[in-house]
Chains A and B, each alone.
Chain A
Amino acid sequence: MPESSRTIISTAPFLHDQATTPRIMWEVVLSMMPLLLAGFYFFGLSAVLVTAVCVLACMGTEWLFQGGAKLRDGSALITGMLLAFTLPPGFPLWMAFVGGVVAIGMGKAIWGGLGQNIFNPALVGRAFLQAAFPGAITTWELPDGQYLTGRGGNFSLPFLKADVVDAISGATPLAKMKFSHELTNWSDLLVGNTSGCIGETSTALILLAGLYLAYRGLINWRIPIGIFIAVATLSALVYGSAPDRYPPPHFMLMAGGLMLGAVYMATDLVTSPLTSNGIWIYSCGIGALVVLIRLWGGLPEGVMYAILLMNAATPLINRYTRRRVYGHS
């Protein structure tokens, strides 16, 4: 183990709390398993394939840059799973692999590794894929109960575009809203029985996972709560002003990647502010940006950019929300 040095303790403290970084990371991975299962339930083997490829790419890249010891902290595994959860189930596997490499390579390694990066690595990978493959990443499919067949797009090869186009596409709730003003049933949104990314569709499961993580102290509950409050208030105001033109707040909260983003992406420890005040600014900022982008931007979804933008603002927020040190005025 060259990278993680074993500390032989010769000075106080001689007691240590139970939580260790690997344990924190593995518990987060555990909390994501139900979401992966739901992905499998709705989208079949494709969900598992895309996730496996992303995880492989992330862990392989981590290993390449940082060596095997760093894999034990589990963070590359989380990045891989999170990246996959934000991809459509029929996404070509080779592109998913590229996304994984970019997530770790550009999202983390070039910053100097875990703890140094400014942006959430999974979202860096996602943003890259969105820019590089705008077609594939907006090719959606409906849950169809076909568990064992891979989706058409999964096995397409680089530079041969044909397969992607062949896929039967089903617009996401957000796209339906944006482009044809069609509201998706709230119970489908709650369960996750809609088209969308692998791990983002089931509002109920993500909320449960979030409750667990908050209860265990693994995420800062203020982050999702701040986002929810901001999204709910702003969209309620907008909806109240013109109910026939804008979606209602519950739709804004449950559709698309908001839940997944609020519980798993925005809460990334490394890229969110350190103090409670900073966290309120950060989380409300994300919520506000999501509403802005979704309602008035060109894209149906804005969670990814909202989080990345507030990630970028985090160092600044940290600077301006310094705490008053005990005994200083």
Chain B
Amino acid sequence: MHSDQSYTGSLQTFRHGVHPESYKERSSASPIERMPFVEEYTMHLNQHLGAPSKPIVREGQRVRRGELIAEAGGFVSVALHAPVDGTVVAIDLFSHPNGQMQPAIKIRIDPYSTQRMEVPLPEIPVEQMDYQAFINGVQQAGIVGMGGAAFPAHVKFAIPEGKVCRYLMLNGCECEPFLTCDHRIMVEYADALIDGTRILQHFVQAEKIFIGIEANKPDAIAILREAAGSSGLPIEVAPLQVKYPQGAEKMMITAILGEEVPSGKLPLDVGTMVSNVGTIVAVADYFRRSKPLIERVLTVTGTAVQRAANLLVPIGTPMRQVVEYCGGITVPSPRILLGGPMMGMVQKNLDVPVVKGTSGILILTDKEVQSFDTYSCIRCGRCLDACPLFLNPAKMGLLAKNGLWDELEENNVLDCFECASCSFVCPSGIPLVQSFRVGKSMIREKKARENK
């Protein structure tokens, strides 16, 4: 079980995991800057997991900053709002960061607008709402998990029949190298974070609230401890050992509670609700300042960008302009990654907009994104010692390589959450997690076919 530990003493953590270099120093001390407005914004209808949003505006229509432009397309879906005062100039297919052409609403900014947001507060204060109205509010605010997966937040906040939420956990681990946006959010938006926590706590009534933070962010730990102390809420700031993937939901739960989330189950099955710190700030923004999710904090960093920064960027801003704001790229053939280097995705070019799930834009040199030789598995066991789920990546890698999908499934590949720790340590450079991604989709495909 957890205990009240100071972060100088022994730190809570999970077993196994890896220690990649953090590379956070470049941006961890840079205060969040507001990115200036640009001419055009591309609002993808599909920037969360689940059904895409449904547009409710026409081409040529004028929209106000914060105005609803697309409504949720189902329960697992969220609303979308205009990030600026302007005019809808197109509803068409545009490049999405996921590499595909996808429907989006393009808005040209009104150059004469002050961009003041004048959306009235909800009629009834959030404390007087019932649970359902709160959940609806979160969905209407367009809030998704800001940690990167962009899963609609209201779905996570809803507690299914028969489940209880004993613990509320705020995830401020930020274990991915390079990224510092959550760190800055905790330091600079501590009050909003506590306020958002108060709102969520009002509904979930958890016995205890934990804020899990890796111990390499002592300023965030100190500030939140102080803010939590005067909040009157049952908050415990839990400094966690610096280790990847400490920020994975299951790993944080195990670190703090000493309990495992059973295979195939959700955190709520062990009485826990986990939410990223940025998501909680978005909750406060909406219910206290009636500002829907129209901008987010992201980290622009890497060795091939002029200046590393943490920026508050309107959703829909072209990434090229975000990078240019940071002084541009300094090498001829950069490698661009979205998200962190352990779980992020390669981006071919910068002609895509920022979406709600964009936690970082990483510009690295060709050399840094190492290419290396692959050798035979020498059965060194390093991958086994790295896997936080105690899987056997060496064996799974062999099975995946030979297309033995059934045996791969028996070896619990579906539990693998693709943290990439195994590939990170493999001295033979075997593309382990890469082959598990393929294996998982093959197994899922097969299951889908069988269920028909």
How many angstroms between the C-alpha atoms of A113 and B371 in the bound complex?
24
B424→A326 contact, CB < 8 A: no
Which residues from chain A contact B265 at a C-beta distance below 8 Å? Answer: 327
B374 within 8 A of A: yes
Interface string of A63-83 (1 = CB under 8 A from B): 000000000010100000000
User: Assuming A11-B437, A17-B425, A327-B261, what are 12 further A-B pairs, CB within 8 angstroms?
Assistant: A7-B374, A7-B429, A14-B337, A14-B344, A14-B369, A17-B382, A21-B429, A22-B373, A325-B412, A326-B263, A327-B263, A328-B263
Distance in Å: Cβ of B123 to nearest Cβ of chain A: 44
A106 within 8 A of B: no
Minimal Cβ-Cβ distance residue in B for A19: B427
Interface-central residue, B376, B431, B434, by most chain A CB under 10 Å = B376
- A1-45 interface (Cβ within 8 A of B): 1, 4-17, 19-24
B379→A14 contact, CB < 8 A: no
Which residues from chain B contact A127 at a C-beta distance below 8 Å? Answer: none
A323 within 8 A of B: yes
A220 within 8 A of B: yes
Which residues from chain A contact B390 at a C-beta distance below 8 Å? Answer: 323-326
Interface string of B355-392 (1 = CB under 8 A from A): 00000000010001111111111111110100011111
Q: With contacts A5-B374, A114-B376, A325-B390 known, is A12 near B262, CB below 8 A?
A: no
The number of chain A residues touching the other chain, given as a range, is 35 or more
B271 within 8 A of A: no
B392→A15 contact, CB < 8 A: no
How many angstroms between the C-alpha atoms of A319 and B415 in the bound complex?
20
B374→A12 contact, CB < 8 A: no
B423→A13 contact, CB < 8 A: yes
B424→A21 contact, CB < 8 A: no
How many angstroms between the C-alpha atoms of A99 and B295 in the bound complex?
70
A298 within 8 A of B: no
Q: With contacts A19-B427, A327-B265 known, is A13 near B372, CB below 8 A?
A: no
Distance in Å: Cβ of A264 to nearest Cβ of chain B: 15
The number of chain B residues touching the other chain, given as a range, is 35 or more
Choice from A1, A17, A326 contacting B260 with Cβ under 8 Å: A326
A134 within 8 A of B: no
Which residues from chain B contact A9 at a C-beta distance below 8 Å? Answer: 369-371
B424→A16 contact, CB < 8 A: yes
A281 within 8 A of B: no
B315 within 8 A of A: no
A270 within 8 A of B: yes
Interface-central residue, B368, B379, B389, by most chain A CB under 10 Å = B379
A115 within 8 A of B: yes
B341 within 8 A of A: yes
Q: Which 4 A-B pairs have the closest CB atoms?
A: A13-B420, A327-B263, A326-B389, A14-B341
Which residues from chain B contact A323 at a C-beta distance below 8 Å? Answer: 384, 390, 392
How many angstroms between the C-alpha atoms of A1 and B392 in the bound complex?
29
A229 within 8 A of B: no
How many angstroms between the C-alpha atoms of A15 and B423 in the bound complex?
9
How many angstroms between the C-alpha atoms of A4 and B371 in the bound complex?
12
Distance in Å: Cβ of B237 to nearest Cβ of chain A: 26
B133 within 8 A of A: no
Minimal Cβ-Cβ distance residue in A for B424: A13
B222 within 8 A of A: no
Q: With contacts A23-B427, A24-B427, A326-B415 known, is A15 near B374, CB below 8 A?
A: no
B372→A20 contact, CB < 8 A: yes
Which residues from chain B contact A316 at a C-beta distance below 8 Å? Answer: none
How many angstroms between the C-alpha atoms of A270 and B18 in the bound complex?
22
A275 within 8 A of B: yes
Q: With contacts A21-B427, A21-B428, A328-B263 known, is A13 near B343, CB below 8 A?
A: yes
B76 within 8 A of A: no
Distance in Å: Cβ of B194 to nearest Cβ of chain A: 32
Q: With contacts A6-B371, A11-B434, A15-B177 known, is A115 near B429, CB below 8 A?
A: no
B282 within 8 A of A: no
Which residues from chain B contact A269 at a C-beta distance below 8 Å? Answer: 378-381
A274 within 8 A of B: yes
